[in-house]
Amino acid sequence: MKFGKEFTSQKVPEWEEAYMNYNYLKTILKEILIFRRRKLDQTAPPNRSAQKGKLSKRHSFYRAFSGLTNRFGNYNDKDADAEVILVSEIKPKEQPPEGQHYQTMFFRSSEEGAENELVFFRKLDDEFNKVISFYKSKVDEVVMEAEELNKQMDALFALKVRISDPNFHMPSTPSNSGASPLEEIQELEEKPERDQTRMVSLEILNHVKINVTPESAVSTLKNIFDGPKCDLLFSKGELRTSHAKLKQAFVEFHRKLRLLKSYSFLNQLAFSKIMKKYDKVTSRNASKAYLEMVKNSYLSQSDEVVKLMERVETAFITHFANANRSQGMRDLRPRAKRDKHRLTFFVGCFFGCSIALVVAMILTIHARDLLKSAGRDQYMSTIFPLYSLFVYIVLHMLMYAANIYFWKRFRVNYAFIFGFKPTTELGYKEILLLSSALLVLTLAAVLSNLEMEMDERTQSFTTLTELVPLGLVTVVLLIMVCPFNIMYRASRFFLIVNLWHCVCAPLYKITLADFFLGDQLTSQVQLLRTVEFYICYYGWGDFKRRSNTCNRSNIYETFYIFIAVIPYWFRFLQCMRQVFEQKDYGPGMNGLKYLSTIVAVVTRTIYVQRRGTAMRIIAASSSGVATIYNTYWDMVKDWGLLRRDSTNPWLRDKLILPNKSVYFVAMVLNVILRLAWMQTVLDFHEAPWLHRSTVIFIVACLEIIRRGLWNFFRLENEHLNNVGKFRAFKSVPLPFSYEDGDKEL
Q: Domain residues of the chain, as ranges? A: 1-57+79-334, 341-724
For the residues 249-270, what does the mean pLDDT come to?
93
d(CA 332, CA 255) in angstroms, rounded, equals: 7
Sign of CA dihedral 325, 327, 330, 331: negative
> pLDDT, tens digit, for every residue of 529-569?
999 999 988 887 667 777 777 877 888 888 999 999 999 99
Q: Which helix or strand (DSSP H or E) is residue 87 part of?
A: strand 85-89
Lowest pLDDT segment from 72-86, 152-166, 206-220: 72-86
Most confident of 261-270, 371-380, 735-744: 261-270
Residue 637, pLDDT > 80, answer yes
For the residues 270-292, what does the mean pLDDT come to?
90
Lowest pLDDT segment from 111-115, 320-324, 586-590: 111-115
Residue 626, pLDDT > 50, answer yes
Give Dmax (Cα) for the chain: 106
Q: What are phi and psi of 646, to 5 degrees?
A: -70, 155
CA distances in angstroms from 728 to 253, 424, 457, listed in the order given: 12, 18, 69
For the residues 135-154, what does the mean pLDDT come to?
91
Is-contact 270 19, C-beta < 8 A?
Answer: yes
> pLDDT, tens digit, for every residue of 699-728?
999 999 999 999 999 999 999 888 767 676
Mean pLDDT rounded to a whole number for the chain: 82
3-state secondary structure of 104: strand
For the residues 591-609, what does the mean pLDDT come to?
91
Is-contact 316 250, C-beta < 8 A?
Answer: yes
**Predicted confidence band at 493 (pLDDT cuts at 50, 70, 90)?**
very high
Lowest pLDDT segment from 18-27, 204-213, 441-450, 513-522: 204-213
Q: Interior CA angle at 562 toward 222 and 541, to 5°?
A: 120
Amino acid at 688: P
The pLDDT of residue 45 is 64
Residue 310, pLDDT > 70, answer yes
The pLDDT of residue 64 is 54
The pLDDT of residue 737 is 82
For the residues 121-149, what does the mean pLDDT come to?
92
Lowest pLDDT segment from 28-42, 199-213, 677-691: 677-691
Q: Interior CA angle at 79 toward 73 and 82, to 5°?
A: 155
The pLDDT of residue 234 is 63
**Predicted confidence band at 194 (pLDDT cuts at 50, 70, 90)?**
very low
d(CA 90, CA 101) in angstroms, rounded, equals: 6
Question: What residues contact 146, with CB distance under 8 A and at least 6 apart?
Answer: 181, 182, 185, 253, 308, 312
pTM: 0.83
Residue 456, pLDDT > 50, answer no
**Predicted confidence band at 395 (pLDDT cuts at 50, 70, 90)?**
very high
Q: What are phi and psi of 209, to 5 degrees?
A: -115, 140
Q: Which helix or strand (DSSP H or E) is residue 603 part of?
A: helix 586-610
The pLDDT of residue 457 is 54
Question: What residues contact 86, with CB distance under 8 A and at least 6 apart?
Answer: 104, 105, 107, 289
Q: Which helix or strand (DSSP H or E) is residue 529 part of?
A: helix 525-539
CA distances in angstroms from 445 to 355, 390, 392, 467, listed in the order given: 14, 11, 16, 10
The size of the chain, in residues, is 745
Residue % of the chain over a pLDDT of 70: 80
**Predicted confidence band at 684 (pLDDT cuts at 50, 70, 90)?**
low
> Nearest-CA neighbor of 278 among 125, 131, 120, 123?
120
CA distances in angstroms from 229 to 84, 210, 233, 359, 411, listed in the order given: 69, 10, 10, 64, 44
For the residues 436-440, what does the mean pLDDT come to?
96
Alpha carbon of residue 181 to chain centroid = 32
The pLDDT of residue 218 is 66
Is-contact 307 182, C-beta < 8 A?
Answer: yes
Question: What residues contact 225, with CB distance under 8 A and at least 6 apart?
Answer: none
Residue 745, pLDDT > 50, answer no
The pLDDT of residue 689 is 65
> Nearest-CA neighbor of 550 among 560, 559, 541?
541
Q: What are phi and psi of 174, to 5 degrees?
A: -65, 140
The pLDDT of residue 515 is 92
Residue 40, pLDDT > 60, answer yes
Residue 591, pLDDT > 70, answer yes
Three-state SS letters, 263-308: HHHHHHHHHHHHHHHHHHHHCCCCHHHHHHHHHHCHHHHCCHHHHH
d(CA 80, CA 288) in angstroms, rounded, equals: 9
Lowest pLDDT segment from 62-71, 105-114, 119-128, 736-745: 62-71
E strands in 147-241: 208-210
Residue % of the chain over a pLDDT of 90: 42
d(CA 26, CA 73) in angstroms, rounded, equals: 28
